[in-house]
Amino acid sequence: MLLLTPEEMGNADRLAAESGIDSYGLMIKAGHAVSAAFLRLFPGASRATVFCGPGNNGGDGYVAAEALKAAGVPVAIFHLGDPEKLAGDARRARIDCAIESRPIPDYRLYPGEVVIDALFGAGLQRPLSDNLCEIIEAVTDAAVPVIAVDLPSGVGGLTGQVLGGAFRAAHTVTFMRAKPGHYLLPGRAHCGSLEVFDIGIPQRILAEAGGAHHLNTPALFKASLPALSASSHKFRRGHLGVFSGGPSATGAARLSAMAGLRAGAGLVTLAVPSNAALVAATHLTAVMMKPVSDVAALEDWLADKRLSAFVLGPGFGVGEKARTFVEALAARPLVLDADGITSFAEAPEQLFGLLAGTEPHCVLTPHEGEFARLFPDISKHDTFGKPEKASRAARRANAVVLYKGADTVIAAPDGRIAINADAPPWLATAGSGDVLAGIIGGLLAQGMPAFEAAAAGAWLHGDAANRAGEGLTAEDLPGHLPRFSAIS
Ligand SMILES: NC(=O)C1=CN([C@@H]2O[C@H](COP(=O)(O)OP(=O)(O)OC[C@H]3O[C@@H](n4cnc5c(N)ncnc54)[C@H](O)[C@@H]3O)[C@@H](O)[C@H]2O)[C@@H](O)CC1
Ligand SMILES: [K+]
């Protein structure tokens, strides 16, 4: 599912106009979609209170207001700025709207009203003024239902960041394609239910206008999911190696290993330091074990070319050993997580050097803190949204970066970006990240390319959490992974 940034949507708009499509006709359809949503969702509203801004978002508002009046709904319009200065389609929409509007400071709460927020959409450029924020706060505090046109005003369509303040909509009607800000946090939490309405811009124009941002759905990775056939031998389903920490720290790697097995790897081996072998062995059944205490032992083990992917990080310990292990593993498909990432905090360039110059085959899975350790300058940039941060990081590291959180973003060095929105809040539980690393490792082991493996991993992880339900523990997750043939 392709997402368009506000800039790309603007391009689509321009291309549509250049191809002879009537832009005012698009605005009429947009405004009518909003009035239809209003009538469908709030048939008993005492009044439609329409806030109209100074651009085309406001234009949609005037169209919706006129349509609601025609449907018999009492309507009050409050405008921002000088409506005489409206230009183009928005100006025409206001002229075609026979309702007197009043300046926004005249607005007072009205019992039973429903607000249509048509202040700003794609054109939001700066934080909302204090006066606007006060009005938004009053509407929010009084729990007045809000329908947002395109985006809740104040939410950045590219980043999902809130600029100053923002409406909390019950429902958002956007046009043609959802925007990244509808799925990134905190924007997602401001949108309510999201409706993507087709106002008639042709697909070919949308495809020409954008293409980097995707919502992470199976459509993005399904074609590269490993297919399990009756004849597939366990070796052909790959062999995943997961590195464990010492005797008191084998649990995290065991979780990853179990998840890798459930994600379909034919064989999974837990590589353990010799002093942890006994502890680990008492906990393992289907997962195999291999003592690997130092880099010499690792090099020996790596001579087995059937080992097809690795996970290093969960519970491994931070330090020199992790760095030398990663050096030995850098040319192989690898998920670098947790301690594996933090081990390079003092010398991120060393890691990037190891990963440079080849087809990207490493997946880095940092949460916010780990991201800041590897990419301090990128992480500090307040105006970058999460996709831009992940994307810059991916290019720098020549690795797929899966930037974790409630709105996990997956970015590839070639510019592809997936925003994951299927994770329930109860997925934020101890060990959950270890399972995610293991799932991705299991998919890499079966030959899935790094970006698709990371995207699939994030989606499957969320899907398993939804199946397991509230109160899950990380141990429950692998058992709830869906069969790949059942994913649609
Ligand atoms: N893209 C499309 O194909 C279509 C777009 N339409 C609508 O057009 C909208 C985009 O229109 P515009 O590009 O005119 O942008 P907007 O209407 O979102 O806002 C632009 C205006 O707001 C001002 N502004 C921005 N931030 C401000 C702030 N914080 N405080 C005060 N003023 C601020 C700008 O100076 C500019 O005048 C979309 O969101 C959508 O609602 C629809 O009419 C249908 C077709
Ligand atoms: K809006």
How does DSSP assign 270-306, residue by residue? EEE-GGGHHHHHTT-SSSEEEE--SHHHHHHHHT-TT
- 433: annotated binding-site residue? yes
Which class would CATH give 218-486? alpha beta
Cis ω for the linkage preceding 186 (within 30 of 0): yes
Q: What is the pLDDT of residue 233?
A: 72
d(CA 182, CA 158): 9
**pLDDT at position 210, please?**
86
What's residue 209's pLDDT? 93
Ligand nearest the Cα atom of residue 63: 1
Consult the annotation and say whether 79 binds a ligand: no
- Residue 378 CA to ligand 2 centre (angstroms): 29
| C-alpha separations of 445 from 8, 124, 354, 484 in Å | 36, 44, 20, 16
Ligand nearest to the CA of 166: 2
Q: How far is the CA of 149 from the centre of ligand 2 (A)?
A: 4
Q: Which atom of ligand 1 is nearest to the CA of 132?
A: 30
> What's the pLDDT at 229?
64
Find the DSSP H helices in 46-129. 56-70, 88-95
Q: CA–CA separation, 488 vs 309, rounded Å?
A: 26
12 is in an annotated binding site: no
Q: Does residue 468 have a known ligand-binding role?
A: no
For the chain, give the number of residues: 488
Q: What is the spatial distance between Cα 415 and Cα 391, in angstroms, rounded to a whole number?
A: 6
Provide block-wise average pLDDT over 10 residues at a time, the chain (488 residues). Answer: 95 95 97 98 98 98 98 98 97 97 98 98 95 98 98 98 97 98 98 98 94 96 84 80 97 98 97 96 94 98 96 98 98 98 98 97 98 98 96 98 98 98 95 98 98 98 97 96 90
What residue spans define the domains of the chain? Answer: 6-211, 218-486
Torsion of CA 471, 477, 483, 484, to 10 degrees: 120
Q: Which residues lie with the beta carbon below 6 Å from any ligand 1 atom? A: 9, 12-13, 26-27, 30, 53-60, 120-126, 128, 149-150, 175, 199
What is the pLDDT, as a whole number, of residue 235?
Answer: 67
Determine if residue 383 is labeled as part of a ligand binding site.
no
**pLDDT at position 70, please?**
98
Distance 57 CA to ligand 1 centre (A): 5
Q: What is the pTM of this model?
A: 0.96
Residues 6+ apart with CB under 8 A from 401: 363, 364, 366, 390, 391, 393, 394, 410, 411
Instruction: Please count the other Cβ atoms lying within 10 Å of the Cβ belonging to residue 196.
Output: 15
* Angle between helix 23-41 and helix 56-70 axes, rounded to 10 deg: 50
Helix, strand, coil fractions of the chain, as percent rounded to 5: 45, 15, 40
Close Cβ partners of 349 (under 8 Å, ≥ 6 residues apart): none
Ligand 2 centroid to 165 CA: how many Å?
12
Residue 176: per-residue pLDDT? 97
The ligand that comes nearest to the alpha carbon of residue 81 is 1
pLDDT at position 385 is 96
Bin 367: left if φ > 0, else alpha if -120 < ψ < 50, else beta: beta
Q: Which atom of ligand 1 is nearest to the CA of 201?
A: 3
Q: What's the fold here for domain 6-211?
A: Rossmann fold (3.40.50)
- Say if CB 128 and CB 153 are below 8 A apart: yes
Q: In angstroms, what is the span from residue 18 Cα to ligand 2's centroid? A: 25
Strands 417-419 and 409-411, bridge-based pairing: antiparallel
**Residue whose CA lies nearest to ligand 1 atom number 13:** 123
Confidence at residue 236, expressed as pLDDT on a 0 to 100 scale: 76
